């Protein structure tokens, strides 16, 4: 991570030395359908690099190691994707950076979404899983399993599309990616519906019939409320991004949406930046773990008194 700027500079220098005149590239030869804006690529690369470094420090400080295979891995994926786009801005005909950005930008947000599932599962346990249709552990297992399925489909489709030599082969990869991102969109929709039901039931104190070992109603502290708002914002950003990606891939590789740079910059890059920074500002080490730990300690004290 600290050598990211050096790596990017080396890539740019190598591309510049190749002597490709970008102005001579025809629209048919350009795999993007536009020239990636170098300044925008540097901006997003810097934003993702800073957030990922910050997440690494925060996760280490709070010993929340599960953030490494989720948020931090997602950040690394975005760094690779935007490095590929930056490389392409200097050599649009080079296949390697185009292949890198196809595969990484489609799957990286999936890891960030996985962290959202884990955090909300802990919120449910804190506030009382008697208001949840699913127990926290089953809740996390189901959504994380589905998230992995979506990840595999998107990764397989991205790899197929990136390695394709013909439009037909690229379309096959695109269809696989479309299936993966559509499944993810459906997954987020169901997740938001269940989360909304939980919050409504908690607000009106309408629990489900008691389950074995179910947790009772907990207090909605300022920290828990802040965490909920952050999770909602994160999920909304990823939901918007999933809608865009679904429409983009359904429109095809030669469609207007995929060949319009501002759509990708705002509705993909911009949404994922907001999503990953949301977890920097409302880090679970401050807004989740403290409330979760406090409740566990309180229960332990109660059992000792008994």
Range of the domain at 90: 34-289
Least confident of 27-36, 239-248, 262-271: 27-36
- Residue 209, pLDDT score: 83
Domain membership of residue 20 (yes or no) is: no
Q: How many CB atoms lie within 10 A of CB 96?
A: 13
Per-residue pLDDT band at 211 (split at 50, 70, 90): low
pTM score of the predicted model = 0.83
- Residue 282, pLDDT score: 94
- Residue 193, pLDDT score: 95
Domain membership of residue 273 (yes or no) is: yes
- Residue 253, pLDDT score: 81
Q: Cα 84 to chain center, whole Å?
A: 18
Domain membership of residue 263 (yes or no) is: yes
Residues 81-108 have pLDDT tens digits of 999 999 999 999 888 999 899 889 999 9
Give how many domains the chain has, as a whole number: 1
Residues 121-177 have pLDDT tens digits of 889 988 988 899 888 777 778 888 998 899 888 888 888 877 777 777 778 888 888
Per-residue pLDDT band at 112 (split at 50, 70, 90): very high
Domain membership of residue 24 (yes or no) is: no
Return the CATH number at 67. Answer: 1.20.1070
Domain membership of residue 162 (yes or no) is: yes
């Amino acid at each position: 991570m600290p050598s990211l700027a050096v790596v990017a500079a080396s890539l740019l220098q190598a591309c510049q030395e190749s002597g490709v005149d970008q102005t001579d590239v025809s629209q048919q030869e350009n795999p993007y359908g536009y020239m990636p804006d170098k300044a925008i690529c540097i901006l997003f690369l810097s934003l993702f690099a800073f957030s990922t470094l910050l997440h690494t420090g925060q996760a280490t400080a709070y010993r929340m190691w599960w953030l490494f295979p989720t948020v931090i891995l997602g950040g690394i994926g975005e760094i690779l994707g935007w490095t590929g786009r930056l490389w392409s801005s200097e050599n649009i005909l080079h296949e390697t950076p185009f292949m890198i950005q196809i595969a990484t930008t489609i799957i990286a947000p999936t890891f960030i979404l996985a962290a959202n599932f884990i955090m909300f599962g802990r919120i449910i346990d804190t506030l009382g899983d008697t208001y949840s249709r699913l127990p926290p552990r089953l809740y996390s297992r189901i959504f994380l399993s589905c998230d992995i399925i979506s990840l595999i489909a998107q990764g397989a489709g991205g790899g197929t599309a990136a390695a394709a030599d013909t439009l037909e082969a690229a379309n096959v990869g695109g269809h696989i990616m479309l299936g993966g991102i559509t499944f993810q969109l459906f997954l987020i929709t169901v997740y938001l519906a269940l989360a909304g039901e939980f919050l409504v039931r908690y607000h009106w104190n309408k629990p489900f019939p008691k389950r074995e070992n179910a947790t009772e109603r907990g207090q909605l502290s300022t920290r828990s409320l802040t965490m909920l708002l952050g999770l909602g914002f994160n999920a909304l950003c990823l939901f918007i991004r999933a809608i865009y990606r679904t429409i983009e891939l359904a429109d095809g590789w030669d469609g207007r949406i995929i060949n319009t740079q501002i759509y990708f910059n705002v509705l993909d890059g911009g949404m994922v930046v907001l999503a990953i920074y949301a977890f920097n500002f409302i880090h679970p080490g401050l807004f989740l773990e403290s409330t979760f730990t406090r409740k566990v300690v309180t229960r332990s004290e109660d059992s000792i008194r008994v």
